[in-house]
Amino acid sequence: MNDFKQRRASLAGKLHARGAFIAAPGVYDMVSARVAERFAFDALYMTGFGVVASAYGLPDAGLATYTDMVAIVERICDNITKPIICDGDTGYGGLLNVRHAVRGYERAGASGIQLEDQEFPKKCGHTLGRRVIPMADMVAKIRVAADAREDTNFQIVARTDARTTLGLEEALARAEAYAKAGADVLFVESPESEDEMALTCKRLTESCGKPLLINCVESGRTPVLPRARLRELGFGLAIYPATGLMAAVHALQKTYASLLPERDGVSLDAPLIEFKDLTGLMNFDDVYRFEAKYREL
């Protein structure tokens, strides 16, 4: 299943085609990745917020290390067939760390890495109090990232968090600088209105001509618009990092509440998939085939 070069080429081709638009759901563990794998998505997005929440029960605040994250990148990429862009936070340190992270994510099977210009420790992009490093420092990180990859189809996604504290003009200037440094995809985090989203697309399309990513977080700082409108504005990639996790947590809350001692435990508030479908999702059929083949040995 390790056709990583083919996946990267597929993603790069679709992302950089004229008029392209990709919607990528956020995955955060093997269950979410296996579910997303079954749908006709062109790519998936491994969310740092979701991984840290699911694996460690911690906030997305720079607490997970490179070692923590690359292990999950490898696990997910090795078990599904779709291209995945994976959250690489700030690159886990200085320029040498960025090179190490890019090489590690590429070896692990990712089709791209997202790097952001926040100070360490970083914070979730839809929270307040985020601070960014000097533009020149991030330009250097993007140059190192672009040089570090072995496969030129491995996508470098450059994210700037400057909008919230320094304003949209600073964020756009940073995105342009990151494009010149070698970023393949530009990501201006948390524009705060549809007008800002339109201005972002107009400015960066005219000045850079590279795919633009929009982060769709329900009840976050950016309006979540219909995909047709996002495409019309000029975005080429929409990620939905928290949608699946938010739905899963909501379902768990309702289901577990139904199992409380004062409830009968039969009339569940949340729908369930059939157990046979759950075992199918976890590929129990492979176990059954293996046992049938070797039972007589």
**How would you classify the pairing of strands 212-215 and 155-160?**
unpaired
The pLDDT value recorded for residue 153 is 97
Structural domains of the chain, with CATH = 4-248 (3.20.20.60)
Closest CA to 24 of 157, 161, 175, 130: 157
The pLDDT value recorded for residue 124 is 64
Closest CA to 222 of 187, 186, 198, 194: 194
Kindly tell me the burial class for residue 76, based on how many C-beta atoms sit within 10 Å of its own C-beta (0-12, 13-18, 19 or more): buried
- Enter the tokens of residue 213: 């990513």
- Enter the tokens of residue 219: 């009840």
- Whole-structure pTM value: 0.93
Q: Are 115 and 88 in contact (CB under 8 A)?
A: yes
Q: Are 28 and 53 in contact (CB under 8 A)?
A: yes
- Enter the tokens of residue 56: 């460690």
pLDDT, tens only, 217-249 = 998 889 999 999 999 999 999 999 999 999 999
**At residue 239, what are phi and psi to the nearest 5 degrees?**
-110, 145
Q: Which residue has the tokens 């490093």?
A: 133
| CA separation for the pair 55, 73 (Å, rounded) | 13
| CA separation for the pair 123, 57 (Å, rounded) | 15
The pLDDT value recorded for residue 127 is 61
Question: In the chain, how many H helices and how many E strands?
Answer: 13, 8
The pLDDT value recorded for residue 90 is 95
Residues of the chain with pLDDT under 50: none
The pLDDT value recorded for residue 198 is 97
| CA separation for the pair 63, 67 (Å, rounded) | 11
**At residue 93, what are phi and psi to the nearest 5 degrees?**
145, -145
Q: Are 15 and 31 in contact (CB under 8 A)?
A: no
Q: Rounded to a whole number, what is the distance in angstroms from the first to the last CA of the chain? A: 28
The pLDDT value recorded for residue 220 is 85
The pLDDT value recorded for residue 261 is 79
Residue 137: CB atoms within 10 Å: 13
| CA separation for the pair 270, 51 (Å, rounded) | 24
